[in-house]
Every structure is written in C-alpha cells, then in structure tokens.
Amino acid sequence: MARHAEEEPAAWWSAEKLAALPKEKIDRFFVAGTVVVEIDTVLAAKASAGAEAIRPQADSRFHPNDLLHLYHHEATVHTAAGLNGRRQPHLRSLALGAPRAGRAVREAGRGAVPCSP
C-alpha cells in the first residue's frame, strides 16, 4: 500500500479508464453482454457490484493493480453470487446480496432518508 502512495499521480486511473479495461475479461467469464461496467456518480464506496453491473465510483482514482482486485472481488464474488442466486429454484433471495452503502446514498439522492436496520 505504501508503494502506491509514492507513485506519480499519472499512474492512477480514472473510473472511466478502469471501466473500459475489464470488459473483455468479464465477457469471457460471464456470457457476453450479461454484465456491464457503468460509472456511478453517487456511490459511497470506491466500487460496487450486483448481478447486472459492476460500478466504479466516478470520482475515485484507481491504481492499475486495482483492476485485478476489482475483477476478482466485484465480478467473481458479488456479480457471480447474484447471478447464481437468481438461478436458484428455492432460495432466490441469494440474488439480493448484502445491504450496501451505495444503495442508501442513491436513495438519499432521490429525496429518501437512508436509515439503518
């Protein structure tokens, strides 16, 4: 981690650059076109994923090494779990995933008041 902080700012990628890179890898892992990468302008976290989309936060900056982490964590954990949950005959709730800060922030942006359980 400390090594990242010492690197030139040019080594850090925008969310747009990051979003353009994993498409080929994602399409190889999932059926092509099943999962999209879209920039999220109100997400509280650096990135989020669900069954249909992986969302890097628009204002975040990513180190090139973040690509592997985002691919493995967001795509092969959260997205794959969501898609698998949708295909379950009895426990479709597995597709819902865990509550996220991103959802609360998006709802707050629409005038709703986020509340904790």
Other CB atoms within 10 A of residue 57 CB? 20
pLDDT at 6: 54
Residue 4 has pLDDT above 60, yes or no: no
- pLDDT attached to residue 25: 79
Work out the average pLDDT over 99-107: 49
Assess contact for 56 and 46: CB atoms under 8 A: yes
pLDDT confidence band for 72 (50 / 70 / 90): confident
The pLDDT, as a whole number, for residue 112 is 42
- Print burial letters for 15-50: b (CB count within 10 Å at least 16), e (below 16): beebbebbeeebeeeeeeeebebebbeebbeebbbb
Residue 91 pLDDT > 80: no
Give the per-residue pLDDT at 117. Answer: 40
Mean model confidence pLDDT for the chain: 74
